[in-house]
A and B are shown apart, each in its own frame.
Chain A
Amino acid sequence: MENVTFRDRISVNRRNSLLLILVFLTFVTVFGYVIGYAWIGDPVSALFGLGLAFAAGTISGLVTYYGGDRMVLAASRAREVTHDDAPVLFNVVEEMAIAGGLPMPKVYIIEDSAPNAFATGRDPEHASVAVTSGLLEKLDRDELQGVIAHEMSHVGNLDIRYAMLVGVLVGTTVLISDFFLRGLWIGGGRGSRREGGGQAQIIMIVVAIVLAILAPVFAWLLQLSISRQREYLADATAVQLTRNPKGLADALQKIAGDREVLEVANRATAHLYIANPIKKFEKRAKGLFSTHPPMQERIQILRSMETGGIPETVG
């Protein structure tokens, strides 16, 4: 079923997700061939490396697509809750699912006093929303509703699929490159045992090193590409769901003003959260307590909706 609230973003995210998987597969396959060549020193035998890498890439792609949400939730030490464990949270999620015409997602709580939240999953039918216990303590019901509406917007427009793929595939890419670079130091001279390889083999070793160094940079660029615009969009859609810009604005203000660090967030999952959990730490390390500029901008946009009124539909 196509959903009226999210239609435009859905197709963009579908295309981007597919593209991401293709780019990942291409990278892994090329990398496999180059490493195979560098290792064995013969263009035909290197096809073995290509086949191996393609198989491994396909498997890890499939595992990510079907199990990435569980990986992300486990890495964040999130615990699934029922209506009886957290009635207000559960009700608010249900309300926002209804407002967006989406199926009810699974609800998780992360035991951490830093207020934050994220959503993940491959589609709205297999979605999960996770919030920290700190968020539940610090926000009132309207604010919580704003945050959950923001997360449900990510669910509805399939941001969650793309972000999940980026998280896990980027992590895998970095891991492969890292593995190779380390292996290079350990098994350094192995290639030279063969004499037939010669110049081509040396070139391939150089190419492999360059690829291994560039991959994490490329991965980092990818992660950057997803954060900003989609957060603004999710804020706007959240207001469409709650019809209450004040709730989300107040919530963001509280979250931005909070200095606690979310322990369970890491580089691979940071981009999933409603507020960057790692930047906070870096800023704190620099001793700058001023709030995050994009966050301030997000709040400002929401505040202007409060006073100016949103382009409301009937109802």
Chain B
Amino acid sequence: MGTVLVVLLVVVVVVLVIYAVVTYNGLVRRRNGVEEAYGQIDVQLKRRYDLIPNLLEGVKKYFRQEQEVLGEITRARSQAMQPQSPGQQAQSEARLSGAIGNLFAVAENYPELRSDRVLLDFQEELSSTENKISFARQHYNDSVQSYNTQIQSFPAVLFARAMGFAEKEYFEAVGPERESVTVSYD
């Protein structure tokens, strides 16, 4: 009788340990996923900073009348590149996206430019850059959702917090950034 009980107890303990290890590893994987996704947003934002001067240089001559719009993009870019708090950062990114959106709106006033190859390429690159940022954020939120769900689910909820797994925050867009820039391609 005694030995049966001991064996049973050992089996239960072993199963519990294996279960805890698997769950723990799963949580670590997801948390790393979230961090990687967060890094990807930064990568895309940096890419945009690098792209903007080149792109603007290429189309400057088309927008001689629109110095103000171009200037606003440049200013918004330098502001966004300053080190600042995450809240401010989101604000300046929103301002930059807004400025870029403005340029697209302005371009609509020049029907003769619609078929210009250089300009179309420029619009494609710029709007794709915006898309990449918003998709990177979407992926971050997807990763956060999966991670948070895991933490809040039974039985991980019993020990996740104790082991240092805390819920991650979703990225929430501010201002005009919420709407992605749309460009027509016909």
Contact = CB atoms under 8 A, between A and B. Distances in A.
Interface of A: 1-5, 87-88, 91-92, 94-96, 98-101, 140-141, 240-241, 243, 313-315
B33 A2 contact: yes
B141 A101 contact: no
A238 B34 CA distance: 20
B184 to A, nearest CB: 9
B139 A101 contact: yes
A99 B145 contact: no
A62 B121 CA distance: 43
Contact of B32 (A1, A5, A240): A1
B124 interface: yes
A57 to B, nearest CB: 35
B185 interface: yes
Contacts of A241: 135
A141 B121 contact: no
Nearest to A102: B139
B143 A314 contact: no
A241 B172 CA distance: 18
Contacts of A87: 121, 124-125
B132 A3 contact: no
Contacts of B40: 98, 101
Interface of B: 29-30, 32-33, 36-37, 40, 44, 121, 124-125, 128, 131-132, 135-143, 145-147, 170-172, 185-186
A99 B139 CA distance: 5
Nearest to B171: A315
- Of the listed residues B128, B136, B141, the one surrounded by the most CB atoms of chain A closer than 10 A to its CB is B128
Nearest to A242: B135
Contacts of A315: 137-138, 140-142, 170-171
A101 B39 CA distance: 11
B145 A313 contact: yes
Contacts of A99: 135-136, 138-139
A4 B142 contact: yes
Given A1-B29, A4-B146, A141-B185, A98 B125 contact: no
A36 B132 CA distance: 58
B40 to A, nearest CB: 6
B132 A98 contact: yes
Nearest to B128: A91
Contacts of B33: 1-4, 101
A314 B141 contact: yes
B142 to A, nearest CB: 6
Contacts of A141: 185
24 contacts: A1-B29, A4-B33, A87-B121, A87-B125, A88-B124, A91-B128, A91-B131, A92-B128, A94-B128, A95-B128, A95-B132, A98-B40, A98-B136, A99-B136, A99-B139, A101-B36, A101-B37, A101-B139, A140-B185, A140-B186, A241-B135, A313-B145, A314-B172, A315-B142
Contact of A101 (B124, B143, B186): B143
Nearest to A141: B185
B139 A100 contact: yes
Contact of A4 (B137, B143, B170): B143
A243 B134 CA distance: 11
Given A95-B131, A140-B186, A314-B145, 9 more contacts: A1-B36, A2-B33, A88-B185, A91-B131, A99-B139, A101-B142, A313-B145, A315-B140, A315-B171
A139 to B, nearest CB: 10
A2 B132 CA distance: 21
B138 A243 contact: yes
Contact of A98 (B32, B44, B124): B44
B145 A2 contact: no
B122 to A, nearest CB: 10
A97 to B, nearest CB: 9
A5 B185 contact: no
A241 B33 CA distance: 16
B29 A5 contact: no
A4 B138 CA distance: 12
A8 to B, nearest CB: 11
A4 B30 contact: yes
Residue among A3, A100, A101, A314 with max Cβ neighbours from chain B (10 Å):
A101
A3 B44 CA distance: 19
Given A87-B121, A91-B124, A98-B139, A314 B170 contact: yes
Contacts of A101: 33, 36-37, 40, 139, 142-143
